[in-house]
């Protein structure tokens, strides 16, 4: 069996080593394609492979059609909006993710960006503290839960909205569940986004929600830039001088925000929530084990294109 690790944004070398070890033990060949410059490089590399590990790499129809032997793709991470699930299913390719494996890294970044913004981007002027402030967690999955755990260490009051998680589970974590999304934004000085990007959520973070946030509001996005309604985001920036936005990767309207609203935003230059050695090892090793388990025993746990 031949497995390709295709990562435009490479894993830490220690993670690649551990992935290789798992495939060596299984008697598989490992190929690595990192930092590739064009989609053509990927199209060429997938020709002979039986399995793939990817991150946010675009696995579209063209890639799937070029991969004639492909049986499984594992997204080492949570969001699989980069993979064409319909085409994968039509071609009998199993798609999996590795839920929870990189969530602590993403949660730490969310809190880190909050501290950075609360301290005025470390410009030396007096800022504010997170202690005693309300944090609304929009979707209480793996990352949301880690965010709540760390935020409590800062002394924040945590609230969460997630229609798919039982209120008891949220309460048991010491977080207050709210009944609807509007209430979450009304009650939270900080809102941290943890929803996936899909047809229901794209551009769903709009002016109607944002305008409800109290004074000195900060929106924290370590999810996907596509979930933000960018015209509404700009409107919010214009109408509310107290509003701030921190995001793991810049929005399309970053230049406008930079020129019109200095000091009120922070964007990472590259998506880096999951860019820690630990997260790379956790997600990469989980992905490798899932591939072996599927190819050897037909184990389909974590399949997302059922």
Q: Which residues bind ligand 3PG (CB under 6 A)?
A: 9, 55-56, 77-79, 102, 271, 273-274
Centroid of chain to Cα 191:
16
Closest to ligand 3PG by CB, 6 vs 117, is 6
- Of 113 and 159, CB closest to ligand 3PG: 113
DSSP line for 102-162: THHHHHHHHHHHHHHHHTGGG-SS----STT-EEEEES-SHHHHHHHHHHHHTTPEEEEE-
Q: How far is the CB of 24 from ligand 3PG (least distance, A)?
A: 24
Q: How far apart are CA 148 and CA 170, in angstroms?
A: 10
Give me the least distance between CB of 241 and ligand 3PG, in Å please. 31
Taking the complex as a whole, how short is the minimal distance between the CB of residue 145 and ligand 3PG, in angstroms? 15
Minimum Å gap between C-beta 242 and ligand 3PG is 28
Choice between 64 and 227, CB closer to ligand 3PG:
227
Per the CB < 8 A criterion, the answer to whether 60 and 84 are in contact is yes
Closest-CB residue for ligand 3PG? Answer: 77
What does the block give as tokens for 83?
């993979």
Best CA proximity match to 94, nearest among 55, 57, 51 = 51
Q: At a CB cut-off of 8 Å and minimum separation 6, what does 107 contact?
A: 143, 146, 147, 149, 150, 222
Pick between residue 102 and residue 188 the one whose CB is nearest to ligand 3PG: 102
**Smallest gap, in angstroms, from Cβ of residue 49 to ligand 3PG?**
19
For ligand 3PG, the closer CB: 159 or 222: 222
Q: How far is the CB of 150 from ligand 3PG (least distance, A)?
A: 17
CA dist., res. 116 & res. 266, Å (int): 9
Across the chain, the runs of DSSP E, i.e. the strands, are 2-7, 29-34, 51-54, 72-75, 94-97, 134-138, 157-161, 176-177, 190-193, 218-221, 244-247, 265-267
- Give the nearer residue to ligand 3PG in terms of CB position, either 102 or 218: 102
As a whole number of angstroms, the distance between CA 185 and CA 214 comes to 8
**Closest residue by Cα to residue 288 from 76, 105, 99:** 76
What is the smallest separation between the CB atom of 135 and ligand 3PG, expressed in angstroms? 20
Select 177 or 273, whichever has its Cβ closest to ligand 3PG: 273
CB nearer to ligand 3PG: give 188 or 275.
275
CB of residue 226 to ligand 3PG, shortest distance in Å: 12
Q: Among 190, 176, 65, 86, which Cα is nearest to 130's? A: 190
């Amino acid at each position: 069996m031949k497995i390709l690790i295709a990562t435009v944004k490479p894993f830490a070398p220690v993670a690649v080593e551990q992935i290789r070890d798992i495939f060596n033990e299984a008697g598989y060949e490992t190929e690595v394609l990192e930092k590739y410059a064009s989609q053509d490089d990927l199209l060429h590399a997938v020709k002979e492979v039986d399995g793939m590990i990817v991150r946010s790499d675009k696995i579209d129809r063209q890639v799937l059609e070029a991969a004639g032997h492909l049986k499984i793709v594992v997204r080492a991470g949570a969001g699989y909006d980069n993979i064409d699930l319909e085409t994968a299913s039509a071609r009998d390719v199993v798609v999996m993710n590795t839920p929870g494996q990189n969530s602590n890294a993403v949660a730490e970044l969310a809190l880190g960006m909050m501290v950075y913004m609360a301290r005025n981007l470390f410009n030396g002027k007096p800022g504010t503290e997170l202690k005693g402030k309300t944090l609304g967690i929009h979707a209480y999955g793996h990352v949301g839960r880690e965010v709540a755990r760390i935020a409590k260490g800062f002394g924040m009051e945590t609230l969460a909205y997630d229609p798919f998680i039982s209120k008891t589970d949220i309460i048991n974590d010491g977080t207050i569940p709210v009944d609807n999304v509007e209430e979450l934004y009304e009650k939270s000085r900080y809102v941290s986004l943890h929803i996936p990007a899909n047809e229901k959520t794209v551009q769903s973070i709009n002016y109607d929600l944002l305008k409800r946030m109290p004074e000195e509001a900060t929106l924290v996005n370590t999810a996907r830039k596509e979930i933000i309604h960018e015209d509404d985001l700009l409107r919010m920036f214009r109408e509310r001088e107290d509003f701030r936005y921190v995001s793991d990767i810049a929005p399309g309207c970053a230049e406008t925000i930079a020129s019109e609203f200095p000091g009120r935003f922070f964007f990472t230059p590259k998506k880096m929530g999951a860019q820690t050695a630990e997260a790379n090892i956790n997600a990469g090793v989980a992905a490798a084990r899932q591939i072996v388990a599927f190819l050897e025993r037909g184990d389909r746990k974590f399949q997302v294109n059922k």
